Copies of this chain bind each other. A is one copy, B any other.
């Protein structure tokens, strides 16, 4: 088993595709439609994993509570995904240079002095975590 993909409902398929390509370096994979759901879908690829974007007609905005880690955890469910990096400060600086704002400082996972994280949001307000594993090995 590995974790190949996460699925997002997004407001605008083209704008979100452009954001993931420009900010995070994803590439287009393939697109399809699901007529019964009035959905347009696009897979984007980054190395060995993908994000699957769904644009569904009339989708409701994300609740404000989902947009910070602390408030998001107050409702049971899937909250965030994490991307591993070898050097979290370098990755943060790289993303800031592309116009991305972080919503937390780089901090240590409380139980560990070696693992560090920082949160940002995609263009839909969805939480994404940068994560530097113990030893900085990013696979």
Least CB distance, A126 to chain B, in whole angstroms: 5
Question: What CA separation (Å) do A8 and B79 show in the bound complex?
Answer: 5
A75-B59, A139-B48 known; A3-B3 Cβ under 8 A: yes
Per assembly, the copies of the chain total 2
Question: What CA separation (Å) do A98 and B81 show in the bound complex?
Answer: 27
Q: How many positions in chain A have a CB within 8 Å of any CB in the partner chain?
A: 63
Of the candidates A1, A11, A46, A48, the one having the most CB atoms from chain B within 10 angstroms of its own CB is: A1
Interface bits A56-100 vs B (CB < 8 Å: 1, else 0): 101111110010001011111111111111000000000000000
A103 at the interface (CB under 8 A from B): no
A31-B111, A66-B77, A75-B60 known; A131-B4 Cβ under 8 A: yes
A interface residues, Cβ below 8 angstroms from B: 1-11, 24-25, 30-34, 37, 39, 41, 46-49, 52, 54, 56, 58-63, 66, 70, 72-85, 109-112, 124-127, 129, 131, 133, 138-139
- For the complex of A and B, the 7 pairs showing the least CB-CB separation, nearest first, are A32-B111, A5-B82, A4-B84, A62-B77, A7-B80, A9-B73, A3-B49
